[in-house]
Each structure stands twice: as C-alpha cells, then as structure tokens.
Structure 1
Amino acid sequence: MRRAARALGKHGLVHAYGHCSLRVDDDHFLVCAPKPLATIAPGEAGTLVSIHGELPPDVLGEVRIHREIYRRRRDVGGIVRSMPPKAMSLSVMGRTPMPTHGMGAYFAPAIPLWNDPQLIRNDSEAQRIAGQLGDAPAIVMRGNGVVVAAPSVEDAVVLTWYLEDAARIELDCLAAGVAPIRLDEDEARRRATRSGRIFERMWDFLTHGDPE
C-alpha cells in the first residue's frame, strides 16, 4: 500500500489530497496514513478499518467511500481516491474520459459521473456514490477527482494512470477541434486484455525506484 501511495504521488495523480486502501479480509481493509501520499515513509503504518463498523477517528472522512465499496463488491481488493488533473478538467465539463485508446478500453462502455462537487463526508452520500459506481472500475466526481476500484491496490493504481491517460488524449483531441473516435464494443472487449503482463509492467514502471 505504501508503494501504491508513493507511486500515485510521484506521477502526479494525487497532490496534498488522496488516499488508497487494500482489502485485508472479508471484514477489514487497510488505509494509508492521512497525509500527502508522496510523503508516506517506508514502514509507516496505515490504519485497519472495519468494513462493517464506524470509521476510526484517525482516518479521513472520505475513507467511508472505500468502506461502502468494499461492503458491496467482494471482487474489489484495492481502491484509489485520486485527483488526476486531466480527468479533473474533463469532469468540470460534465464529461468522463471516453474509451478511445488501448488503456481506455478497460473502462468501456463508459465511466459514470458523480455530478456533485461536494466532499463525501456522511454515510448516506458514500452509499449513494458506491451505488452509482455499481460494477464499474471507476467513477469520476465533478470537480472532485476520481475513485477507482479494482481486484488489487496495484491494479487500482494502474487503472488510475490509464484513466488519466484517456483524459489526456480526449482533451488533446478537443483542443485540436477534432472529436475523438470511441472504441466500439468489440474493439474495447478485445483490447482490454491482461495478457503479456500488461498491468504488471505498468506497475513496475510506476513504482520504479521506490525505497521499499
């Protein structure tokens, strides 16, 4: 989890704000220390959180989003709450990154938009956003970043990078005055592969040089 946190900070996917977590077992998850992720030190402890109980007093309020997703989705083993700048820019246009290239294929057919810029600081809102996420790998929050849910925290970090790259490409196309071409259902299905160590190589790239 610490490596995941530092990778997110190193590559500009978070700044002062953001957090990540990993599932420990059916009843608990571990969330990173409540500080800028790039500053998390080797060996620095996170906090164990019950999936079924109240949040501990020393974790950030939006960690309740993680809790609600873990409650609903047994397939999720890692979550990243991030602030990727290109995805943020698209979000205030009321858009989420379209699947237009290989790395965007993992989000087909579309990434849902949480159309509310407020912080998630109560259980009812966390339940609502987890419900809107549904079975999707990510949800974009208008003017407020991204939540990615994946089978592992490593996958969640990789998908966060993929989502931001999809946002970058879409913004480049829009700036050029050209509408990007969306992958069709078959193109997205065939391209969203895990073979060839696709995710593993991106994880290695994002964490290269990490002290742990």
Structure 2
Amino acid sequence: MALPQKALRELKARVALANRILANEGLADYHGHVSARIPGTNRFLIKPVLKPLAEVTARDILIVDIDAYKKMIPEQRKRFDTRAGVIAEARPPRETIIHAAAYEARPDVNGVVHTHQLFAAAFGLARRPILPVHNTAGALYPGTPILDNSRLLITGEDGKQMVEALGQASALLLRGHGVVLVAPSVEEVTVNTIYLERAAKVQLIASLLGHEGGLSAEDSAVHTQNIRRRAEHAFAYFASLLR
C-alpha cells in the first residue's frame, strides 16, 4: 500500500531535519547521510550527494528504489530518476549501497545513518569496539562490530560485506572510514548517532582513569527500551537546538 502523499511529505521533512541535526552536532558536514525507509515499500528517502547536511530541506530529498539502484551500480549511477520534485540532475550519495543493503538485509530497520564522526572513527581505527558505557548507549551492547575496510562502500559486494559485519548490531565501525548506524526509526537512529559519539568520549575518559568494560546485558536492554520510547522526544530536543 502506497504511503499517502501527506505522510510522504512529512517523512521527507523528518529526514531533512535529521541531516541538519547531525550537522549541528558537529557529526557531519557534506560527507555523511541519513535515510528512512518508506513504510511498506522497497524504497527509501535520502539527500542528494553534493548537498551539505546543514542545508538539506524536504524538497531536496530523493526517493531511491532499491531494486533499480542495484541494477545501476555497474554503471556507477551516472543518472538517477528524480521525478519526486527535486533538482533535475540530483543524484544520491556514492555510498547509497550502505542504506540499500541495510534495508534489504534487516526488515527491522527503518532508519540508517552514515557519518565520519571524530571519536567513533578513532575507535574504529584502533580496532576498539565502542561499548554501552552509559544509559543512553544501551543499543551498543555488547560492543560495536568493526569492518576492516577503509574504502568507500559503493558496490553490491561492499554492501554485502557491510551487512555481514553489522549482523544484528545497531552500529558498525568502518576502520579508517566512519560509522554506520541502524534503528527502527529515523528519529532513533539520529539520536543514537549522537549517543554513539558521547559513548566513545565517555569510554575514552574512563579508560584513562583505569576502567575498562561496559554495562551488563540486562542494564543495556533496559536502557535500549527507554531510549526507544523517548526517541521522538530526544529528536525534538536536538531539533530545538537548531533554532
């Protein structure tokens, strides 16, 4: 069943806002992207490749059909259908396979983020998983897996390797590159991206104080559910900082 046009417009606005939030938090500039699955379809929403995250509006958002996109990969996606009221020559990011592969492999995922945020990237380079070290990081339990690949993820094989490394986790560190996060909603994946960076900072500071390790599985599960229930409120808070 097709999503009503009003609901589609609202989802585009949410995706655009998520991009601006991450830019405002200093986690992305024009590199990086946020997407949301269009419910009940094999399509998702994402920003154009050259649009800085801080400037993304609902009008900029592209619709990507996963099956069509995968067929275009061998041609490096020279053109893309943008009939959804966006700039005629707009194209999705080069690493759109990150999003396409995640949605195809994980039916539970409705929001995906890719950034190159500083502290999380440092943990990836050091091959150190980020742990659930405080009560906003429960979704990271038992620790972030790491993909030892610093190259851009562009091909279908790249996407396959990424989802295999991600497994059922909520976040994946790309060694020498950045991070990928997934969640049941665009709101939750956005706030979890912020909390991932905070967890990396807390873990680094705690390690300097001689502490290693994170929270228990039981505590992490409780905190994950709390964040899930409050994701809309947290998203609204971070959005309020843009004003």
TM-score (norm 1): 0.91
The question of whether the paired residues in 2 share the 8 Å contact of 1:77 and 1:153 is answered with: yes
What is the deviation of 1:126? 1.1
The question of whether the paired residues in 2 share the 8 Å contact of 1:33 and 1:44 is answered with: no
Q: Which residue of 1 aligns with 2:52?
A: 36
Q: Which residue of 1 aligns with 2:115?
A: 82
CA distance in 2, matches of 1:123, 1:29: 17
Question: 1:108-147 counterparts in 2 under 5 A?
Answer: 108-147=141-180
What is the deviation of 1:179? 2.3
1:48 aligns with 2:81: no
Amino-acid identity (%): 28
What is the deviation of 1:209? 5.0
User: RMSD of the TM alignment (CA)?
Assistant: 1.9
Structure with a larger share of its residues in helix: 2
Deviations 1:126-185 (A, max 9, x none): 1110122122111111121111111111111011011111101011123x3412342122
The question of whether the paired residues in 2 share the 8 Å contact of 1:87 and 1:96 is answered with: no
Q: Secondary structure of 2:60's match?
A: coil
The question of whether the paired residues in 1 share the 8 Å contact of 2:96 and 2:154 is answered with: no
Q: Which residue of 2 aligns with 1:162?
A: 195
Q: Structure 1's 43 and 109: CA in aligned 2 closer, same or farther, altered over 3 A?
A: closer
Q: Secondary structure of 1:178's match?
A: coil
Q: Secondary structure of 1:193's match?
A: helix
What is the deviation of 1:197? 4.8
CA distance in 2, matches of 1:117, 1:18: 15
Structure 1 gap segments, 5+ residues each: none
Deviations 1:80-101 (A, max 9, x none): 1112211011111111211111
Structure 2 gap segments, 5+ residues each: 1-14, 80-90
Question: 1:1-212 counterparts in 2 under 5 A?
Answer: 1-24=15-38, 25-34=40-49, 35-40=51-56, 42-54=57-69, 55=72, 57=79, 58-174=91-207, 176-194=208-226, 197-210=229-242
Deviations 1:109-140 (A, max 9, x none): 12110111111121101111012212211111
Q: Which residue of 1 aligns with 2:4?
A: none
Q: Structure 1's 118 and 132: CA in aligned 2 closer, same or farther, altered over 3 A?
A: same
CA distance in 2, matches of 1:19, 1:129: 16
Q: Which has the higher contact order (CA 8 A, sep 6+)?
A: 1
CA distance in 2, matches of 1:118, 1:72: 21
CA distance in 2, matches of 1:195, 1:89: 25
TM-score (norm 2): 0.80
Q: Structure 1's 123 and 207: CA in aligned 2 closer, same or farther, altered over 3 A?
A: same
Aligned residues: 209
Q: Which amino acid aligns with 2:103?
A: Y
Deviations 1:1-39 (A, max 9, x none): 110000010001112310111111321111112222012
Computing the radius of gyration from Cα coordinates, the structure with the larger value is 2
